[in-house]
Amino acid sequence: MAGVNGDRKGKKDDNGIGTAIDFMLSNAKLVLGVGGAAMLGIATLAVKRMYDRAISAPTSPTKMEQTGKRSWEEPAWMGSSPRVLNHDMKSTVSRSLQSLPTSSHAFEPDCLRRTVGRAAVRGSGAAQSDLLRARMRLSLQERLWEFYQNNVNIPTEEQAMARRAALDICAELRVFLHAKLPDMPLREMYLSGSLYDDLQVVTADHAQLMVPLILEKNLWSSIPGEDTIMNVPGFWLVRRENLEYFPRNSSYWDRCMVGGYLSPKSVLEVFDKLVAGSINWPAIGSVLDYIIRPVVPSETLTLEVQYETDRKLYVDFLPLLVMEDGTSLIAKPHRLAAERHENLWRQSFRVAETARLRALDQEDGGCRCTCLKVAKAVCKLNPALNRLNASQLTNTILLLSEKEGDWTQEALADRFLQLLRALVGHLEAGRLPCALSPKVNLFCELTEQEVDELGYTLYCALSDPAGLLRTGVAQPPHP
């Protein structure tokens, strides 16, 4: 059996404790299985390293400060910046995921206490101090709730002020559009987004102004992206029909037609000329006591509203089509092929996804929305995870809900770990199916390098999930 007679030259005598620990680690898998060995290994490795540091501590305090900065839970291979996985590393990640602990109890003090036993209690004062600090860091459940209260939740007053600012902007735009273009066929504009679903995190800084267009039923029809030569599920074409009976200019929106299809890019250009070019925002801002300016460049039409000295709100102006079957299409271009797919309208699942998430939580008093908000905050505050959006996180949780039944508040840490593991698995496969439409791949707009970097960052986080919360607190919020 490995580890019994290992060479320990160059180390001080440790009365055989180090040898015993090596023996226990080497043979734990035979007795406890992969999962048990992983949990035992994490706890035992902590004590072994602290014990080794205690007996081999240098006499010079200066040297100790230089070499003792990293704790056992901050491995040297875990850098702060992501790196790219090659194909061999991907397969290693896949195999290694099977041996990582799946329960948050593996990171809790009680597990460490049971594994360490009396050896740690009888250690030196420095070792006991290190162990105490490690125990305080290991309660993932407590850290998640602390992070939720201090960094995720937005004060009610701040939300109310942001909503009021968004409502003021909506009212000004409504008045202007009706006065400037009274014949433009529009339904009533309305505000939407996570700010109005109580799912916004960190700061109230984003809202969506939905602008529903009215299309004549006999003049326009929608075609799913997978039924076209482009084969892009989740995106749609809106085709002009009956041109022989209703020639061009029979519909107001014919002016935005490109190649026989209604172009979302052309629709956005029409509104951009009005909203960004025709409205006197400085004058309106002075009346409202705001500073308002269009964001340039932007993939959609976005307004930046500074409504307090230190608070800004970004309002996305989104033209919307609601088809006869209830399908919602928004004028937001494909991220990687905006020019090649400029006629494609993006299908929006946000309303249905949010409704399903809330319905599941109401059925069992679950923590799905809490888990989602924590994950959104982590991604918002951690630059390496900025490419993960709310829809991807929501659908991962919805897919997990189909397999996992325990979503009680007490299970938040376990579900958060499962969410990280599921995301790594989907990134490794390069595919995240939409829970409401499995043919849609929600990772289709990520580059291969972004997939690898996200996968590596999350995989590293699995060995120290609380580290994501520390990283998040250290980073300034991004709009």
Mean pLDDT of the chain: 80
| 8 pLDDT more than 60 | no
User: 210 φ, ψ to 5°?
Assistant: -85, 130
E strand or H helix at 46, and its extent? helix 17-55
Cα–Cα nearest to 373, from 195, 217, 226: 195
Would you state the pLDDT for residue 119? 42
- 364, amino acid identity: D
Tens of pLDDT, residues 59-113? 444 434 443 433 333 333 333 334 445 555 555 555 455 444 444 444 444 444 4
Tens-digit pLDDT profile for residues 313-335: 999 999 999 998 889 999 998 88
* Of residues 415, 448, 460, the one with CA closest to residue 140: 415
Confidence of residue 162 (pLDDT cuts 50, 70, 90): very high
Q: Are 116 and 47 in contact (CB under 8 A)?
A: yes
Q: Beta-carbon neighbour count of residue 9 at 10 Å?
A: 4
Name 238's bridge partners.
222
Angstrom distance (rounded) from CA 159 to CA 169: 16
C-alpha to C-alpha distance for 218 and 36, rounded to whole angstroms: 64
Say yes or no to pLDDT of 371 above 70. Answer: yes
CB 415 within 8 A of CB 405: no
More confident residue, 120 or 415: 415
- C-beta pairs of 17-20 under 8 Å, 24+ apart in sequence: 17/51, 17/119, 18/48, 18/51, 18/52
Residues written for the chain: 479
pLDDT for residue 262 is more than 60: yes
Instruction: Decide if 158 contacts 204 (C-beta within 8 A).
Output: yes
pLDDT of residue 2: 45
Only one residue has tokens 């500074």, namely 306
**Residues facing residue 261 across a β-bridge:** 239, 258
DSSP string, 152-211: I---HHHHHHHHHHHHHHHHHHHHHHHHH-TTS-B---EEESGGGTT---SS--EEEEEE
pLDDT value of residue 74 = 36
Q: What is the DSSP letter of 213?
A: B
Identify the structural domains of the chain with CATH numbers, from first to last: 156-347 (3.30.460.90), 352-469 (1.10.1410.40)
Max avg pLDDT among 100-109, 110-119, 178-187: 178-187
Q: Are 292 and 285 in contact (CB under 8 A)?
A: yes
471 Cβ contact partners less than 8 Å away, ≥ 6 residues apart: 80, 378, 381, 382
Instruction: Name 191's bridge partners.
Output: 209
pLDDT of 27: 58
Contacts of 97 (CB under 8 A, 6+ apart): 421, 424, 425, 459, 462
Asked if the bond preceding 297 is cis, omega within 30° of 0, the reply is yes
Question: Which pLDDT tens digit goes with each residue over 415-439?
Answer: 999 999 999 999 999 999 999 999 9
Q: What is the DSSP letter of 286?
A: H
Residue 447 has pLDDT above 70, yes or no: yes
pLDDT (tens digit, 9 = 90+) per residue, 77-89? 333 334 445 555 5
Residue 82, token pair as written in the block: 């992501």
Distance CA 204, CA 171 (A): 19
Is the predicted pLDDT of residue 4 greater than 80, yes or no? no
pLDDT of residue 175: 92
Task: Give the span between the Cα atoms of 115 and 111, in whole angstroms.
Answer: 6
Mind giving me the DSSP string for 48-117?
HHHHHHHHT--S-HHHHHHHS-S-TTS-TT--SS-----HHHHHHHHHHHTTS--SGGGGSHHHHHHHHT
3-state secondary structure of 212: strand
Q: Which residue has the higher pLDDT, 71 or 32?
A: 32
Percent of the chain with pLDDT over 70: 69
Stretch among 23-32, 61-70, 350-359 having the lowest mean pLDDT: 61-70
Residue 361 confidence (pLDDT) above 50: yes
Share of the chain above pLDDT 90, in %: 60
- pLDDT band, very low/low/confident/very high, at 299 (cuts 50, 70, 90): confident
8-state DSSP, 225:
G
The pLDDT score that the predictor gives to residue 172 is 93
Is residue 478's pLDDT more than 70?
no
Beta bridge pairs of residue 24: none
Are the C-beta atoms of residues 71 and 130 closer than 8 Å to each other? yes
Q: What is the mean pLDDT of residues 298-323?
A: 92
What is the widest separation between alpha-carbon atoms in the chain? 96
Kind plus residue range of the DSSP H or E element containing 406: none
Across residues 271-295, what is the average pLDDT? 91
122/129 Cα distance (integer angstroms): 12
Torsion angle of alpha carbons 439, 442, 445, 450, nearest 10°?
Answer: -130
Specify the pLDDT at position 5: 45
For 329, what's the count of Cα atoms within 13 Å in the CB-facing half-sphere? 30
